[in-house]
A = this chain, B = another copy of it.
Amino acid sequence: MVTRLSHLFLRTLRDDPSDAEVTSAKLLVRAGYIRRQAPGIFAWLPLGLRVRARIEGIIRDEMVAAGAQEVLLPALAPREPYEATNRWTEYGDGIFRLKDRKDADYLLAPTHEELFALLVKDLYSSYKDLPVTLFQIQDKYRDEARPRAGLLRGREFTMKDAYSFDIDDAGLDRSYQTMRDAYERIFARLGLEYAIVKADAGAMGGSKSEEFLHPIAVGEDTFVRSAGGYAANVEAYVTPVPDALPIEGKPEPVLLPAADTPTIDTLVAHANAVAPRDGAPWTAADTLKNVVLALTHLDGTREVVVVGLPGDREVDLKRAEVAFAPAEVEPAGDDDFKRHPGVFVKGYIGPQVLGAESPSGIRYVVDPRVVDGTAWITGANERGVHVSGLVMGRDFTADGVAEVSDVRAGDPAPDGSGPLETARGMEIGHVFQLGRKYAEALGLKVQDENGKLATVTMGSYGIGVTRILAILAEAHNDEKGLVWPKNVAPFDVHVVATGKDSVAYDLATDIVAQLEGERFEVVYDDRPKVSPGVKLRDAELLGMPIVVVAGRNAADGVVELWDRSSGERSDVPVAELLDAVRAI
């Protein structure tokens, strides 16, 4: 049954909506695919719903082909399972909580590890039942702090989430690989370029995790990759640790005479002038910058921590969040300093007075490059005064190592596969080896081959359906509007009739019937009182892969054929149209 624009519930806008910040939201609202209902909450209009359905179809297809079984769990979930894994608390403000009329606590689930683990516990009891991989396509909820990026960060959104259950690690490896392979096929079919990068398993508490990122300049995520095949989200980059150096024979530290050294470079120059090093001169990488961070722990307590890193590096707060998870991290403020009077001499902080065991009791952690035997220029905890040749493991120690430094182009890949380049991307999928964390917390055990109870090991695999749709719109558009890949376009062909008499309309109706006979999905712009200019602009904006315009030359049986993606336009006699459409 043909869809006619004269009837379709659609209104296109000439201008970008004022409340949309990203290209995908602007275009999808302008083209009448979605409408905003509240911050991060959208209504799906007929065209948008068709794209969703096609994306869901591809995902479902590949999940089933990979042996996963579809189920559907509730969005409204009781508190207890999330309490058992501590996520009820860990999510902080990030989830929607509510009470029912009996004052019982519920949440709108942001993800379903707990409920899937309980479901398998409920149904299965033996290793013979495993492995099993379950999935659902379902609406999820997150109370995003800044839901301004349209569907990219919705508060109500649709996900395909899958969960694998295995008796042992080798099984989890296989299940994980199967899902990973399915994701590759899904993104290939969706026409979405991707990079698979190592990711931080972080809040999920897993042991291994990879992200599928779509490389795009406006991406929110930064990742690094080497020519030799290494790729990682910067949060997951692991700094190669240099070998420790011998401490013996290292010169004693030297207090540098006070001087005005407002920058690392001026400090390095000063040190090279007054206390030159044997061999190579001091460089910025030999200075030890001590940055004071404030952590907010889950129980609400606030802790001041100092991180020591080479002076040519900056603290990357996202990496610090991972390093100190689940605590929240921010630069320390005046209040934090006041709680430790007399400890910090700003600009001249040195590790000598720090450490959990020191009188200050303040934890001191260092970048992995700060290994035993390395000698540093750093603060002497006295206004204006620095010290050089301070040796790690002799003159100061640390409470631990933390990956807080930024990652840069040219840094080495940890696997030795060469220098890194950086790129930006958007997350389109995420696969986790969760291991036994959730199963342990929820008591998911089955009998093993020896009749003993064994804790199940889990994987978790997510694709945001509505997010993918937005990313497809980000990836496929031009100044005129959307340009849908064939596999997800709401219709294959957009037929436009223009002109005042019925010739073009009759021809278009005929063409529509022919195309539908050949099983093309067609939308037909038959609006009688809309100008040709508006119709053609709408055809560009809506973004179907193929546009057929019956207009000027309709009387001669000639129509214009557009390939929306290449931009090519040509006049085609109707008799040759079907072949030409098939060719595109």
Contact = CB atoms under 8 A, between A and B. Distances in A.
A187 interface: no
Contacts of A38: 74, 76-78, 106
B9 A123 contact: yes
Contact of A143 (B35, B96, B101, B132): B101
24 contacts: A9-B69, A9-B71, A9-B123, A9-B132, A11-B124, A35-B122, A37-B74, A37-B78, A38-B76, A41-B74, A41-B76, A43-B73, A43-B115, A44-B72, A46-B69, A46-B70, A74-B156, A75-B156, A76-B141, A93-B101, A96-B100, A98-B108, A108-B108, A139-B139
A575 interface: no
A223 B37 CA distance: 40
A259 interface: no
A419 to B, nearest CB: 42
Contacts of A65: 1
Given A7-B67, A44-B71, 10 more contacts: A10-B123, A35-B122, A37-B78, A37-B115, A38-B76, A43-B72, A43-B73, A46-B70, A93-B101, A101-B143
Interface in A6-47: 7-11, 32, 35, 37-38, 41-46
B98 A96 contact: yes
A43 B115 CA distance: 9
Interface residues of A, number: 52
A94 B439 CA distance: 35
A313 interface: no
B98 A98 contact: yes
Contacts of A97: 98
Interface of A: 1, 7-11, 32, 35, 37-38, 41-46, 49, 52, 64-65, 67, 69-78, 93, 96-98, 100-101, 106, 108, 115, 119, 122-124, 132, 134, 139, 141, 143, 145, 155-156
Contacts of A8: 69
Given A70-B46, A70-B49, A37 B77 contact: yes
B76 A108 contact: yes
Nearest to A165: B9
A9 B72 contact: no
Contacts of A11: 123-124
Given A98-B96, A101-B145, A75 B75 contact: yes
Contacts of A49: 70-72
Most chain B beta-carbon neighbours within 10 Å: one of A42, A74, A77: A74
A415 to B, nearest CB: 38
Q: How many copies, total?
A: 2
Nearest to A118: B37
Contacts of A52: 72
A76 B96 contact: yes
The 7 closest A-B pairs by CB, nearest first: A98-B98, A44-B72, A11-B123, A93-B101, A38-B78, A41-B74, A9-B69
A95 to B, nearest CB: 10
Contacts of A41: 74, 76-78
A45 B72 CA distance: 7
Most chain B beta-carbon neighbours within 10 Å: one of A10, A46, A52, A97: A46
Contacts of A108: 76, 98, 108
Contacts of A67: 7
Contact of A156 (B76, B96, B101, B145): B76
A93 B143 CA distance: 24
A70 B43 CA distance: 11
A64 B53 CA distance: 15
Contacts of A106: 38, 96
A78 B11 CA distance: 23
A122 B42 CA distance: 13
A66 to B, nearest CB: 12
A163 to B, nearest CB: 11
A46 B71 CA distance: 5
Nearest to A52: B72
A145 B124 CA distance: 32
B123 A73 contact: no
B96 A155 contact: no
Most chain B beta-carbon neighbours within 10 Å: one of A67, A100, A141: A100
Contacts of A74: 37-38, 41-43, 156
Contacts of A46: 69-71
Contacts of A100: 96, 143, 155
A41 B73 CA distance: 9
A39 to B, nearest CB: 8
A558 to B, nearest CB: 32
B123 A76 contact: no
Contacts of A101: 93, 143, 145
A61 B172 CA distance: 41
A17 to B, nearest CB: 11
Contacts of A93: 101
